[in-house]
Structure 1
Amino acid sequence: MPLETPARIVSELTSRGYNADREAVTLLSGADDPDAALDAAVERAPDDALKISADHVETVLAEFERADTSVSNGNEYENNPVGETSPPQETKGVRGNRNTGEVAQASKATDAGGVTDAGEVTDAGESTNAGESTNAGDGVGENVSDVSRPDESIRDPDLDERSLEIEGDVTGESTGTGEYADFVSVFRDRFKRLSKQLRSRVNARPTTAVQKMPGGGETAIVGMVSDIRSTTSGHWLIELEDTSGTYPCLVMKDREFADAVDELLHDEVIAVEGTLSDDNDDGDGILFVDSLYFPDVPRTYQPSTADRHVQAALISDVHVGSQEFMADAWSRFADWLHTEEAEHVEYLLVAGDMVEGVGVYPNQDDELDIVDIYDQYEQFSEYLKEVPGDLEILMIPGNHDAVRLAEPQPGFDEELRDIMSVHDARISGNPSTVTVEGVDILMYHGVSLDEVIAELPDDKASYDDPHKAMYQLLKKRHVAPQFGGKTRLAPEEEDYLVMDTVPDVFHTGHVHKLGWGKYHNVLAVNSGCWQEQTAFQKSVNIDPDAGFAPILDLDTLDMTVRQFS
């Protein structure tokens, strides 16, 4: 097939084991004979080269010109026919085709957002106080156990249609030094931004002003939760703090919204309305709460969609370097991406933990297949070469990656970026909002999900229903509200973990469980992992959902889950 588009050139180079500079692809596609130019560029590439550079292509094209000039003068090269099409090159660094079985049964999303064997996707589950949950998509989850890569890729995306922008990336912007002033700054910024979202709903007063109001009056407070405790009578006392002071608020156990207290975490920002006690102006007042508000996602929210039919694969927790990394499942996934069925998958978004890391949990060395962290990233890069070269790839780090553990996490350093530069993959910090053809996708690795699941009742958040824990973060408009617990938070001048705007899609990983659903029309997806159960996971009762790839239709926000394990 003639190589008339840059996309086909990228695909052909990938099938031969090479990446290429964008400028190199442009030069090859603009050559008089792109097929011959590509063959010559590959044939003349250094033995240890992994990427075809623009300089190399310019040299090859210059030889074409000299050959053409020599032919026109009657002096054809005898031993160097640069313009002649070379025989097919041996594939480098790419696994061969596989025939391991037939496409197996379809699956459905259960109420937990998981995948079963019933052949359909149902509603992602009804929410309780976490908000509405609607059908997450009409796609079918399929077990893809037989995927053969075609000899010649049929992928032909229009690269000019693509658009990917990143916001909220802390990389290169981190200013925190760990001083007390940094902690004050980040909490003030959090309060300012979240209280702004709440003040449009309540006529709030500062706590110092409330303390001076006469008893019996009605008022509202916007504050950060500094303490939650139950009284001897079973009521709830919540201490709210703003920039001027603190004030006690009492939620009576018989109020219809009392169960919302079960969802509260320390350090999140909420608003309350209520009636002041009669002795308020004596300095011993309390606010009897009549209404409680979270920043939340508006129920009327309507997400944006792409203007064309295009798809993104959402994955996380690859864990290359672990003895339990599922290499065969990954390769089946990569092979499927080369098929006609996946021709509309133009984006690959990876939500952290590309590698297993070193020293992350006790006795991890006993479960490592690759013990050097840099060798782990080198091997991850080799596996990344298996996916089509025309994919637009974006990755953020996770808690197993070689970056700081405290969130927000900057993207990888230059040495690791160079290692993972296959297919010109882009790297951003954790979290980041990635706008893909108009669709805002909030990517967050998800360490705070451990905290949410530990603190809240099982019906509000659990490992079996990871998307419900994500609903809580959407409701609080913050990806890691609680400070000082399981989640390590870095003080910065601004709080990079606040959701100023509502995302269209919320993508996380970390907990190694598959789950998805819609909360007020925001699609929440936890994409599982590519690592079978480790001894450590078994000891803490984690049964991972491994080898799944959620495929998102960006034009409809419907989703199909494919299984490659």
Structure 2
Amino acid sequence: MPLETPVRIVRELAARGYNAEQAAVTLIASTERPGRTLERVVEHVDDAALRITAGDVRGALGDPAVEDPPVSTGEPASNRTTEDDDRRDTSPEETSETASGVGGERSPRNDTDGGVDTSTSAVAGGGRTAAGGGPEHGSPAASRTADPSLRSLEVDGDVTGQSTGTGEYGDFVKVFRDRYEKLSKQLRGRVNHRPATAIQSMSGGTDAAMVGLVNDIRSTKSGHWLVELEDTTGTFPCLVMKDREFAGFVDELLLDECIAVEGTLSDDAGIMFVDSMHFPDVPRTYSPNTADRHVQAALVSDIHVGSQEFEADAWTRFADWLHTEEAERVEYLLIAGDMVEGVGVYPDQDEELDIVDIYEQYERFSEHLKDVPGDMEILMIPGNHDAVRLAEPQPGFDENLREIMSAHDARITGNPSLVTVEGVRVLMYHGVSLDEVIAELPEEKASYDDPHKAMYQLLKKRHVAPQFGGKTRLAPEEKDYLVMEEVPDVFHTGHVHKLGWGKYHEVLAVNSGCWQAQTDFQKSVNIDPDVGYAPILDLDTLDMTVRKFA
């Protein structure tokens, strides 16, 4: 059978029980007769081998000096086999509706029939709207002919292999000191701050300013707010009067986040009357980075393979679309956690599992990953359903799981990680802390219907999980991996199974929905998931198109 495209080679090797390096697949595809080359390679490798390498291909060809050719999956229409005709005659549902609202904010709304709105749209600011296309019968295959040397994908802030926490008291001291030092640097230029001990020795009635972590928040009998701040020297109480214009900021505060306040000391210097409050925040002058060429990335999360509610057909339609000419610029796939459903994550989960063994879940996920074009760059981080520690930051998967998920040489990193894709900084975070933000803040500032607004709060605090000891499990490390030291250009999360996006001070915040229909557990906690959406990001403009495949 003809094997002109890498994806067919990957599928053929998988059918024979092999995984393969991307370079090996590219070498096979570049030969004059890929089908015969594949047979020679399979005959050449050791019977116990599980993975085909570029060296195996060179050895089978008898020419170890062969150099890797440029990646090319071009496929003339005349070369398509019946495999193309067997693809699903279904195209994604799309619309030309343009997103509205501040910063292009958008999230699905229920229509009059009570179902999820199936419309998709582009982020305001020049984003192209989806209009037709999809893996229709006979549609042209993608031809990703860009020189692979143009691609770049770098990771920063990955805790994998760096974890040193033992859970002792000293570890907690270290992580909070590191948090304070990193975030206070972003605030010190805005206020003439003094340490808590220095403020305690100042005279009453004088002006003062302090940068600290929020240690306590309580209301007074008169309805004012008493916010206690802590720095590395001690604590100091700060009173926010209810009639001040910034008093609403107190509703946004979470314990352990870092803020700065300015005000006047009381006559006895025992308290500060706050005149202004500052957050680390994203500078309003921030200008995002963009790629130097027209290239796209697909942002997805929460696949949940192994669940009875995993929407396999929707994933297949998405993978098929990636093979079309319309998707030829989609060269990156960024997955923000929860590849599988996991085991024992919530009560009675076993009753909703299609696959009860965690390793078999990952094996099935790997099979679905093989449906994605073999010449795409894939990066994924774990989530709370994955087989890694629950406490954040989460290291990437262990070697056993990495071997299982070796399709396409996917890049696996920790949660969170700052991923630079052709110059564009994408902060990848699964998003467990969004539950806490939504629970703690007023509905108009954070809700499941508008998950991107909860993400705005994390950008404002410059920390992906500020509050310790709440719903989010946090691991003490020598440094705080959860601080946003650099401003991301794109903030990508999942976890809450809701689609929403918008721009906050020019940072694009995207929660990419899920690929799992509503489970009984989700129904019990009133979560109505947005299923089968794939945000497609233009890295050269940061415009975005959302496609629906369910």
TM-score by structure 1 length?
0.86
Distance 2:38 2:80 in 1: 13
Match of 1:485 among 470, 476, 493: 470
Could you say which residue in structure 1 is the equivalent of 2:89?
99
- Aligned pair in 2 of structure 1 residues 141, 253: CA closer, same or farther (>3 Å)? farther
Matched, 1:40 2:37: yes
In structure 1, how many angstroms separate the alpha carbons of the residues matched to 2:382 and 2:426?
16
Most deviating of 146-155 and 260-269: 146-155
The aligned residue for residue 338 of structure 1 is 323
Residue aligning to 2:62: 62
What CA distance in whole angstroms lies between the structure 2 residues aligned with 1:534 and 1:119?
23
Secondary structure of the corresponding residue to residue 490 of structure 1: coil
CA distance in 2 between partners of 1:88 and 1:451 (Å): 50
The answer to whether the aligner puts 1:169 opposite 2:166 as a matched pair is no
Q: Displacement of 1:59 after TM fit?
A: 3.5
1:506-532 superposed Cα distances (whole Å, 9 cap, x missing partner)? 000000000000000000000000000
2:194 pairs with 1:205: yes
Checking the alignment, whether the CA contact within 8 Å between 1:145 and 1:564 is kept in structure 2 is: no
Q: How does 1:444-523 map to 2 (within 5 A)?
A: 444-523=429-508
Q: Secondary structure at the match of 1:423?
A: helix
Which residue of structure 2 lines up, in the alignment, with residue 186 of structure 1?
175
Q: Distance in 2 between matches of 1:462 and 1:352?
A: 21
1:231-287 C-alpha deviation (Å, 9 max, x unpaired): 01010000001111110000000000000000000000000000010111xxxx110
Deviation of 1:194 after TM superposition, in Å, equals: 0.5
Report the equivalent of 1:401: 386
Q: Does 1:196 align with 2:212?
A: no
Return closer, same or farther for 1:153/1:275 CA change in 2, 3 Å cut-off: closer
Counterpart for residue 442 of structure 1? 427
Q: Which residue of 2 aligns with 1:351?
A: 336
Closer, same or farther: CA 17–154 of 1 in aligned 2, 3 Å: farther
User: For the Cα contact (< 8 Å) 1:107–1:142, is it kept in 2?
Assistant: no
In the TM superposition, residue 48 of structure 1 has moved relative to its aligned partner by 9.5
1:529 aligns with 2:514: yes
Q: Distance in 2 between matches of 1:292 and 1:149?
A: 60
Tell me the secondary structure at the aligned position of residue 180 of structure 2: helix
CA distance in 1, matches of 2:131, 2:183: 41
Q: Is the 8 A contact 1:248 1:287 kept in 2?
A: yes
Q: Deviations over 1:130-163 (max 9, x none)?
A: xxxxx36523256877545758653323211100
SS in 1 for 2:545: strand
Q: 1:114 to 1:50 in 2, by over 3 A?
A: farther
Q: Bigger CA drift: 19-28 or 302-311?
A: 19-28
Counterparts in 2 of 1:81-480, with a 5 A limit?
96-100=86-90, 105-109=95-99, 111=101, 113-115=106-108, 121=121, 135=124, 138-141=127-130, 147-148=136-137, 153-280=142-269, 285-480=270-465
CA apart distance, 1:348: 0.2
Tell me how far apart the structure 2 counterparts of residues 451 and 118 of structure 1 sit (CA, whole Å).
28
Instruction: For residue 248 of structure 2, give the secondary structure of its aligned residue in structure 1.
Output: helix
TM, length-normalised to structure 2: 0.89
Structure 1, residues 296-341: CA drift from partner, whole Å, max 9, x if none? 0000100000000000000000000000000000000000000000
Do the aligned partners of residues 392 and 214 (structure 1) sit closer, same or farther apart at CA in structure 2, a change above 3 Å counting?
A: same
Between the aligned partners of 1:410 and 1:38, the Cα distance in structure 2 is 39
> 2:381 & 2:120 partners in 1: Cα distance?
31
Q: Which one-letter code corresponds to 2:490 in the other structure? A: V
What is the distance in 2 between the residues matched to 1:36 and 1:170? 44
Deviation at 1:103, TM superposition (A): 5.2
- Closer, same or farther: CA 16–459 of 1 in aligned 2, 3 Å: same
Structure 1 SS opposite 2:197: helix
Deviates more, 1:149-158 or 1:300-309: 149-158
SS in 2 for 1:562: strand
The 1:336/1:432 distance shift into structure 2, 3 A limit, reads same
Distance 1:110 1:392, change over 3 A: same
**SS in structure 1 at match of 2:333:** strand
Q: Does the 8 Å CA contact 2:95/2:120 hold for their aligned counterparts? A: no
> Cα deviation per residue 1:414-466 (whole Å; 9 max; x = unaligned)?
00000001000010000000000000000000000000000000011000000
- Does the Cα contact within 8 Å between 1:103 and 1:142 map onto a contact in 2? no
The residue aligned with 1:69 is none
- The alpha-carbon deviation at position 219 of structure 1 amounts to 1.0
Query: What is the distance in 2 between the residues matched to 1:406 and 1:137?
Result: 39
CA contact (8 A) 1:445 1:508 kept: yes
Aligned-pair CA distance for 1:467: 0.2
SS at match of 1:198: coil
Distance 2:341 2:85 in 1: 22
When residues 249 and 557 of structure 1 are mapped into structure 2, their CA distance, relative to the original with a 3 A threshold, is same
Residues 482 and 353 of structure 1, relative CA distance in 2, 3 Å threshold: same
Contact 2:302 2:514 in 1 (8 A): yes
The answer to whether the 8 Å contact 2:90/2:317 transfers is no
CA change 1:27–1:340 in 2 (3 A) is closer
What per-residue deviation string (whole Å, max 9, x for no partner) do you get for residues 31-81 of structure 1?
xxx12255322465269987433343233312999xxxxxxxxxxxxxxxx
Instruction: Give the 3-state SS of the residue equivalent to 1:374 in structure 2.
Output: helix
Structure 1: gaps of 5 or more residues: 66-86, 124-134
Q: Secondary structure, in 3 states, of the residue corresponding to 1:467?
A: helix
Aligned equivalents of 2:461, 2:413: Cα separation in 1: 24
**Do 1:98 and 1:149's aligned partners in 2 also have CA atoms closer than 8 Å?**
no
Tell me the equivalent position of 2:114. Answer: none
Cα separation, 1, equivalents of 2:315 and 2:511:
18
- Which residue identity lines up with residue 365 of structure 1 in the other structure? D
Aligned residues: 519
Equivalence for 1:14:
10
Contact kept? 1:41, 1:52, Cα under 8 Å? no
Q: What secondary structure sits across from 2:342 in the alignment? A: coil
Task: Please state how far the C-alpha of 1:392 moved relative to its aligned partner.
Answer: 0.2
Inter-partner Cα distance in structure 2 for 1:118 and 1:374: 34
Unaligned runs of 5+ in 2: 66-78, 110-116
Amino acid at match of 1:395: M
Aligned partners of 2:85 and 2:220: how far apart in 1? 64
Equivalent AA in structure 2 for residue 477 of structure 1: R
- In the alignment, the residues of structure 2 paired with residue 391 and residue 122 of structure 1 have an alpha-carbon distance, to the nearest angstrom, of 23
The residue number in structure 1 matching 2:537 is 552
What residue is the counterpart of 1:52 in the other structure?
52
Answer yes or no: is the 8 Å Cα contact 1:137–1:557 preserved in 2. no
Q: CA deviation at 1:102?
A: 7.5
Q: What amino acid maps onto 2:308 in structure 1?
A: Q
1 CA distance for matches of 2:509 and 2:64?
53
Quick check: 1:240–1:248 contact (8 Å CA) kept in 2? yes
Letter in 1 for 2:233: S
